[in-house]
Every structure is written in structure tokens, then in C-alpha cells.
Chains A and B, each alone.
Chain A
Amino acid sequence: MSEIRFTDQHEWVRVDGDVATVGITDYAQEQLGDVVYVELPEVGKTIAQGDEAAVVESVKAASEVYAPVSGEVVEVNADLEGAPGGVNEDAMGKGWFVKLKLSDKSELAKLMDEDAYKSFVEGLA
């Protein structure tokens, strides 16, 4: 069974077994506007929780996507390199950035669940 968690930097992480899929939330893509470029890490790279996992750029600016959990990059969403607008179209699904092999499952406990994130975003309005 998969579970989804959120950071206060508007990343999401969905865990299936020991693989975590990471993306940015719908709220984040809306704040960014049209995504025109995505830079993804190399497969095999080890990223620590809170470190830069990817870069997402709109017409206006570049933003970092931080790793919600620590792990080794096992796959990146190469589709985004040719069609970065996928982040806007389906941020929570097809617009994912990287898959990480979890190195410490206990890190998930520090993240928000769906209800907590929803309240967090409502509080930003």
C-alpha cells in the first residue's frame, strides 16, 4: 500500500515499499506558473533529506526541489526534459521528478500527511 507525505516546501513523496516517488504539489506548480525547464539528478546519486534533488524553472525564475527523504536516485522522469509542461498538467501524477530508494524510513514521520498539508496550504492564503 502506498502512502503520500508532504513537506512545507511543497514537495510530495509517495512511498511504495522502499521506493519513494518525489514531485511538487499542485499548489507549487500553480505558484510557479508555466514550467519551461526541469533539471534532474543522475541516476545513482545519493541525496540527503532537505538537499537539492532537482531544479524547476518557470519563465520568471528557477526554484530548487528538495528531497523530502534521503536516498539513492533509482529513476528520473526523462519525459519532463522534452515536455516540462507536464509538471503543470499533472503535478501529483505524471509530473513526478525522481524516484529514490529510501535509506531511512523513519524520516517520513517528520512529514505532513494529506490533511495536514491541506490545512498548511489553506493557512498560506
Chain B
Amino acid sequence: MSAPHSEETLQVTPLHALHIELGAKMVPFAGYDMPVQYKDGVLAEHLHTREAAGLFDVSHMGQAWIEGPDFETVARALEALVPGDLLGLVPGAIRYTLLLNDKGGIRDDLMVTRPAEAAHANSLFVIVNAACKEADFAHIAANLPAGIALKPIRDRALIALQGPKAVDVFRRFAPAGADMLFMTAQAMDVAGIPCLVSRSGYTGEDGYEISVPEKDAVALTKKLLGEPEVKPIGLGARDSLRLEAGLCLYGHDIDETTTPIEGALAWVIGKRRREEANFPGAKIILDQIANGAPRKRVGLLPEGKAPAREGTEIVAGGKVIGSITSGGYGPTVGGPIAMGYVDAAHAGVGTEVELMVRGKGRPAKVVAMPFTTKRFHKTK
């Protein structure tokens, strides 16, 4: 039986010792030694998150403040690097956006928050991917005008509490959290610890992402894990959860060679930003909005039971028309699911294709994503 393995010098998060204490299987991920699963395994962890609440260590991700003289100046400065409408953010609002290169390719995807608190009225709070964080920070810093600075936050952990029961658990430690809407953020004490709390996540479920001082991270995590609904969840289930939710994994489903339009992320480009056309790669991206992109990211549902993994060729009419960028087994779906890029002619929902798994074409259909129903807290 084949089993790949690699060794490198790895960084650790403030929760590293706790993961090992909890019986996690640790693997290298984005330069960190991270838990891929705990004792229950990926399948049980995935299903538990969909039924109750899962706790994830995402401290490897990059957190930073971007600070300047006032909100508008800071928002305009970051807008020069992303296609999102940041000026339109009200205090406490979060936006998912993309750092773009000059060809309209995606350098990273990130969350940008306009803090609700007066103490941070002149700042934006950003969270970027672990593997990209140093490059992102350097890129942003190098492109900010004088008077605006990016300040990496290296003394805070980040933990996510996700699932339909996340709110019930969270309110026990921070009652105000229950009234927050999806994609909003608020500074609040959680179990008496000062945190920056976002109602957001990467699982397709309701939940919270909690930026916590690293010295308090273990204590807060243990408190949350002490609740009957909560179990620790590793990167394995994090990946299957986000795939079922149709969410992109940077470096796989989107990268420097894919535009937001090809990546089916046109919705991130604000109306005003389209009119102003002043984001990197705007000419290429606006042309693709007007005339179509040559290829598109789509959901794929294999008809049989065989999972089709990343790199699998997608074939139609005897010709290769694309390839899978994320694929595997969806525990909630109860079968294989995938996403990938296909040429524009084959991107329509319902299109029949073949996935070349181990040299054999296997029937699949282009489907709309997500593969599971999203359950966010959007109205009071």
C-alpha cells in the first residue's frame, strides 16, 4: 500500500501541545505542524460539525491590521489591490475579497473587516491564507501609500467554532454573539477574554471565528471543548466541509493563473469597482465579464462511487476539456463530489462529462454548488 510522507522544519500554533494531548494525527500544512484529524477520524468529525459544533485551530492563518489616518483613506488604499467594495463596508462588516495580480490572476483570497470599535476606526482587519501570508503582507505593505501601514498580528491565535449548535455554545461565553449576523465582526469578551469575533467560517455552516490573544488561546479552547456539543476537528474534515460548501481552497481551486470570472467569483467585484475599473487586471476581468471567460470553475457530481481527485482530467466528446482542482468524498452528500475547471462550452449545469480516474472514463455531471445547504444566520 502506498503512503506518501515528507519532513521539514515546521512552525507550531499556540494550540500545538493541546492537539497532541487530544490525540491528533499531525501533518505538515503550509509550513505548520497541524492536526489533520483527531481520534474520531475525518468522517465522524465532518458529520459532527454538520450536526452539532466543531472547533478548528486556524491560527496558522495570517492576521493583520492595516492602519492609516482614517477609514476612507485606508479602504481606498487596499481597494487598489482588490476588486471588492471596501469603502461601502459599514462598521462591523466583513467582506470576502481577492488580492489580484496585474493579469487579473488571484494572489490570495482574504477576509477584510471594518472594525465596529472606535479604537480601530482608522483600520481594517485582514485574515489571509497561511501559505500566502508573508508574501501577502509584503505585497500589501509595498503597495500602501505613505501614512498607511500593515501591521502583522503575531500574538493572536485564531479558532473557529462551526456548526448549527455553535451559537448555543458561544452564547454561554459571550451572550452578545448570538445576535451577530453572518459576515459581521465585533470585539467582545469571550469567557472573560478580550477577543475579536467574526460570525463567519469555511464550512457552509453558521459559526464564529475568534481571534484570541495567544496566551489565552489554550484556556478558551479548553472551555469551548468542555461543552457537550463541541469536538475538535482537524484539517481533513475542514477540507471536506468546505468542498461540500463549494468554497475555494487557495492554491488548488484558485491561483495566480485563474481570474475571479474563471473562478466563478464574479460576485466579489463590487458594482462601483466595475465602473471605476481601477483594480489590478481590471481590463482583462471586465472583458471576461462582458464577453465571457474561456473556462469556468464548476461543481462536478460523479455518477458512480469512485472519488475523482485533484488533477483528474475532465473529458467530453473524446477531448480533454478541463481538470479537477478539488475532489473527494463528501460525507454529508454520501458520495464523491468535486470541483474543477472546464471550457466555457461545457460549463452549463447538467452538462455530461467523463472523469478520467485510473485511465477509465467515468460519467459525471456539471452541477450547481454548494453540494449541501448553507445555513447561515442572516436575519434576526
In the complex, are the beta carbons of A64 and B2 less than 8 A apart?
yes
A113 within 8 A of B: no
In the complex, are the beta carbons of B41 and A62 less than 8 A apart?
no
In the complex, are the beta carbons of A37 and B307 less than 8 A apart?
yes
For residues 6 through 59 of chain A, which have their beta carbon under 8 Å from a beta carbon of chain B?
A: 9-11, 24, 28, 31-34, 36-37, 39, 55-59
In the complex, are the beta carbons of B328 and A59 less than 8 A apart?
yes
In the complex, are the beta carbons of A65 and B236 less than 8 A apart?
no
In the complex, are the beta carbons of B1 and A60 less than 8 A apart?
no
Residues of B within 8 A of A125 (CB): none
A61 within 8 A of B: yes
Residues of A within 8 A of B305 (CB): 37, 81
Residues of A within 8 A of B306 (CB): 37, 39, 57
In the complex, are the beta carbons of A37 and B336 less than 8 A apart?
yes
Chain B nearest Cβ from A2, distance in angstroms: 22
Residues of A within 8 A of B43 (CB): 33-34, 36, 59
Chain B residue at minimum C-beta to C-beta distance from A52: B358
In the complex, are the beta carbons of B358 and A63 less than 8 A apart?
no
Residues of A within 8 A of B42 (CB): 33-34, 58-60
For residues 52 through 104 of chain A, which have their beta carbon under 8 Å from a beta carbon of chain B?
A: 55-66, 81
The digit string for B43-86, where 1 denotes a CB below 8 A from any CB of A, is: 11010000000000000000000000000000000000000000
Chain B nearest Cβ from A99, distance in angstroms: 18
Residues of A within 8 A of B203 (CB): none
Residues of B within 8 A of A63 (CB): 1-3
> A33-B37, A33-B236, A34-B43 are known contacts. Are A62 and B307 too (CB-CB below 8 A)?
yes
> A33-B37, A36-B307, A39-B358 are known contacts. Are A60 and B2 too (CB-CB below 8 A)?
no
Q: Classify the interface of chain A: helix, strand, loop or mixed.
A: strand
B329 within 8 A of A: yes
Chain A nearest Cβ from B121, distance in angstroms: 44
Residues of A within 8 A of B37 (CB): 33
Residues of B within 8 A of A55 (CB): 358
Chain B residue at minimum C-beta to C-beta distance from A54: B1
In the complex, are the beta carbons of A59 and B358 less than 8 A apart?
no
In the complex, are the beta carbons of A59 and B240 less than 8 A apart?
yes
Chain A nearest Cβ from B245, distance in angstroms: 15
Chain A nearest Cβ from B292, distance in angstroms: 34
In the complex, are the beta carbons of B309 and A65 less than 8 A apart?
no
Residues of B within 8 A of A34 (CB): 41-44
Residues of B within 8 A of A56 (CB): 1
B331 within 8 A of A: yes
Question: How long is the Cα–Cα vector from A21 to B46 in the complex, in angstroms?
Answer: 33
Question: How long is the Cα–Cα vector from A80 to B9 in the complex, in angstroms?
Answer: 39
> A37-B307, A62-B307, A62-B309 are known contacts. Are A9 and B1 too (CB-CB below 8 A)?
yes
The digit string for B307-333, where 1 denotes a CB below 8 A from any CB of A, is: 101000000000000000000110100
Question: How long is the Cα–Cα vector from A58 to B236 in the complex, in angstroms?
Answer: 10
Residues of B within 8 A of A9 (CB): 1-2
Question: How long is the Cα–Cα vector from A36 to B327 in the complex, in angstroms?
Answer: 13
Residues of A within 8 A of B36 (CB): 60
Chain B residue at minimum C-beta to C-beta distance from A58: B42
Residues of A within 8 A of B307 (CB): 36-37, 57, 62
Residues of A within 8 A of B309 (CB): 61-62
Specify which of B44, B328, B336, B358 is in contact with A60 (CB 8 Å cutoff): B328
Residues of A within 8 A of B239 (CB): 60
Question: How long is the Cα–Cα vector from A58 to B45 in the complex, in angstroms?
Answer: 14
In the complex, are the beta carbons of A57 and B358 less than 8 A apart?
no
Question: How long is the Cα–Cα vector from A31 to B1 in the complex, in angstroms?
Answer: 11
In the complex, are the beta carbons of A36 and B1 less than 8 A apart?
no
19 CB contacts below 8 A, A to B, read: A10-B3, A32-B1, A33-B37, A33-B41, A33-B42, A33-B236, A36-B43, A36-B307, A36-B329, A37-B307, A59-B46, A59-B236, A59-B329, A59-B331, A61-B309, A62-B307, A63-B3, A64-B1, A66-B2
Known A28-B1, A66-B1; further 20 A-B contacts with Cβ < 8 A: A32-B1, A33-B42, A33-B236, A34-B42, A34-B43, A34-B44, A36-B43, A36-B329, A37-B307, A37-B336, A55-B358, A57-B329, A58-B42, A59-B43, A59-B237, A59-B240, A59-B328, A59-B329, A59-B331, A64-B2
The 7 closest A-B pairs by CB, nearest first: A34-B43, A36-B329, A59-B42, A10-B1, A9-B1, A33-B41, A59-B329
Binding site for A on B (CB under 8 A): 1-3, 36-37, 41-44, 46, 236-237, 239-240, 305-307, 309, 328-329, 331, 336, 358
